Amino acid sequence: MAGDASELGPSLQPGGSAWDGAEELTRLMESCRSIAGAANPDAFNQRMGLAMEQLFTWSAFVVIPGDGGMESLDVQGGRRLGAQGRHFFAEEIRQSSRAESVTLPHLRWQAEPATGADARGAPSLIFPFTGRGGRRGLLAVLPADGVVPDAGARRLVASLAQQAGVWWERWRHGEEDRRTARDALLEQLPCGVILLDEGGRVAALNGVAGRLLAQLSGPEPAAGRSMEQLGLPLGSLPRNTEVEFSGCRDQRRYTLRWDALPGTGESISVVLSDVTAERGAREQAMQAEKMSVIGEMLSGVAHELNNPLASVLGFSQLLLSQCTDERQHERLSLVVAEAQRARRVVTNLLDVARVRPPERVAVSLDELVTSILALFAYPFRVDDIEVEWHPAPNLPPVSGDRARLQQVMVNLVSNAHHALRHCDKPRRLIVRADEAAGRVRLQVSDNGGGIPESHLDRIFTPFFTTKAVGAGTGLGLAICARIAEEHGGTIHVRSQVGEGATFLLDLPACRIPAPRQVKPGAPPVEVAGLRRLLVVDDEDAFRQLLQEALSEHGTEVVTAADGAAALEEMAAGSFDAVVSDLRMPGMNGMEFHEQVKQRWPAMARRFVFITGDVMDADVRAFLESCGAPHLPKPFGLQELTDTLARVALAGHEGTGAVLDFPEGNPGETAT
């Protein structure tokens, strides 16, 4: 039974069971003040109930704000009411809400109906109220059993209805402001935040969460859907614990943490983040760390290998140059070729570990591909993989960092190897290199399983891998793409499932010729203008080698095992050039050079340095500043004599014809 406060008259009149003059009026005002001060709907209901208790006897009531924003509402009281009583009360509310155009939420009763107490008392008192925005609501009260509300009681309830209207209006405004502030705050957060309502459905989310959910479960709007429907079953995840997982659709890494929102009953907050880049950076750092450890280890190994290799290569070349017997010559040529092969393996390992400094030189792809394929020769043989290599004749070099370009080739070839190992024979790897329009194009093709179309645009992104955990990092092709870009080039793929894959690397051609390769077995040549040479090296075999090789052609070779001994030799006699190791016990090559620079400055420009292993930053800086040529061990005798000839020639040009220094102190005539 709906009423209206206006039909009850302009003011409350004394009379009736619940109305008793000034005292009641005071109580009503107190109640109104108390209701007005409620901070949230729960407090509001509680205070409303208390006020009605004091002013009126009721068994159930509900205030329906009528703004359509509530899914369900608790009916206060009703504990002593049976199912039938509840049914009648709800039915009357329903009819009034229809008549007053109030959107009715689902009504929830506080407790199970008590048995045997279905009898209902007087009809309900239902009063509509309006807020300032014109939105209507209802206050519905069911008087207690046996209470018949008189006009005073009806006015009382009508007053409380108006009070409820005022409170709800204020709350709604406040709520809207709070929501706006909350949404603005959520938008500031770098992670995705999703708020779920009591039913577990998405009630609010920030932009980041919207994007992440679209990545994870498709573009349909998330609002109103449950997390299960979005493919994130929270029920199976521990509360308030960060869980990391991979997206099924995109292979990206995400973290999720959920918890109940404090002070909101059943509402839940979900924090979702895309941590792919972070994890990527971490893995990259680990990878870099690993590479640096490998690099350090390799530089030690290289040092130990390069010194004996220098002697093997040098002596075999020396013997070869002196050999007249055809069979011996053949055998020695083989020794030289094998020593050079061993040298290439060491160099390749160092380049792959990237312990060499970046550079921009003319790089012959022909040589580079040949060396990488040689590195894979054994695994290819084991896996029965046929390899074809077709470099175009007169292929121009490319300008770049040899080590970085080698890394590209290693990645492409090892990916092809992986693909071929898992498919039927015949297994073929075909590498071609051609020139067109000022660019060099390298094609690496295999007839392995190929790449599904859906993966084609993702394989160059970091951390995309289809290989088992531990077998792939997903970094190889990303690194290739970056190196290609660094060199002003591009890398593409063509592939179809079942038909293999072809990677195409395009690099700008370089017009400067690549450095000449020393052919195995080339005999050492005489060094013009080199009459007296000082060799400083702590390796006995190496000193002996240079002594034998160079004195053959008339150069007098004096040797010293360290810098201090070398200084003594220099003080005792003049030299046309100095060949010095850099790393030596006692006075090292750099300190030795510094001493010479101070005492005989002209001689400081006639040094050729030998580096036995990977150069560290100090050594690189030293070599750059002093400008002296350097040769990494092991080198061919031809390379050494070529370099010495240049140094001797520069000596002639720079100092005139005078190469001899006055007895005992070359520094005095230095210019």
Please give the residue ranges that form the binding site for ligand ADP (CB under 6 A): 411, 415-416, 419, 446, 448-451, 459, 464-467, 472-478, 501
Report the C-alpha gap between 501 and 416 in whole angstroms: 8
Residue 417 Cβ vs ligand ADP, minimum distance, rounded to whole Å:
9
Nearest CB to ligand ADP, comparing residues 221 and 379: 379
Report the C-alpha gap between 38 and 167 in whole angstroms: 8
User: At residue 294, what are phi and psi to the nearest 5 degrees?
Assistant: -60, -40
Nearest CB to ligand ADP, comparing residues 121 and 448: 448
Nearest CB to ligand ADP, comparing residues 139 and 501: 501
DSSP symbol at 515: P
Residue 270 Cβ vs ligand ADP, minimum distance, rounded to whole Å:
31
User: How many angstroms separate the most distant Cα atoms in the chain?
Assistant: 141
Report the C-alpha gap between 268 and 200 in whole angstroms: 7
Residue 281 Cβ vs ligand ADP, minimum distance, rounded to whole Å:
16
User: At residue 416, what are phi and psi to the nearest 5 degrees?
Assistant: -65, -40
> At CA 309, angle to CA 304 and CA 312, rounded to 5?
140
Contact indicator for 196, 188 with CB cutoff of 8 Å: no
Sign of the four-CA dihedral 180, 186, 192, 194: negative
Residue 464 Cβ vs ligand ADP, minimum distance, rounded to whole Å:
5
Contact indicator for 237, 243 with CB cutoff of 8 Å: yes
Residue 481 Cβ vs ligand ADP, minimum distance, rounded to whole Å:
9
Stretch (H or E) spanning 507: strand 501-508
Say which amino acid occupies 431.
Answer: V
Nearest CB to ligand ADP, comparing residues 275 and 456: 456
Residue 620 Cβ vs ligand ADP, minimum distance, rounded to whole Å:
30
Question: In sequence order, what are the residues at sequence separation of 6 or more whose Cβ sits closer than 8 angstroms to the Cβ of residue 142?
Answer: 58, 59, 60, 61, 77, 78, 81, 85, 89, 120, 121, 124
Say which amino acid occupies 348.
Answer: N
Residue 502 Cβ vs ligand ADP, minimum distance, rounded to whole Å:
9
Contact indicator for 566, 558 with CB cutoff of 8 Å: no
Residue 244 Cβ vs ligand ADP, minimum distance, rounded to whole Å:
20
Nearest CB to ligand ADP, comparing residues 31 and 445: 445
Nearest CB to ligand ADP, comparing residues 168 and 463: 463
Nearest CB to ligand ADP, comparing residues 31 and 495: 495
Nearest CB to ligand ADP, comparing residues 464 and 592: 464
Three-class SS of 78-108:
CCCCCHHHHHHHHHHHHHHHHHHCCCCCEEE
Residue 446 Cβ vs ligand ADP, minimum distance, rounded to whole Å:
5
Contact indicator for 639, 518 with CB cutoff of 8 Å: yes
Residue given tokens 């050594």 in the structure block:
619
C-beta nearest to ligand ADP: residue: 476
Nearest CB to ligand ADP, comparing residues 418 and 532: 418
Residue 493 Cβ vs ligand ADP, minimum distance, rounded to whole Å:
7
Report the C-alpha gap between 402 and 363 in whole angstroms: 6
What is the chain's Cα-based Rg? 45
Nearest CB to ligand ADP, comparing residues 78 and 474: 474
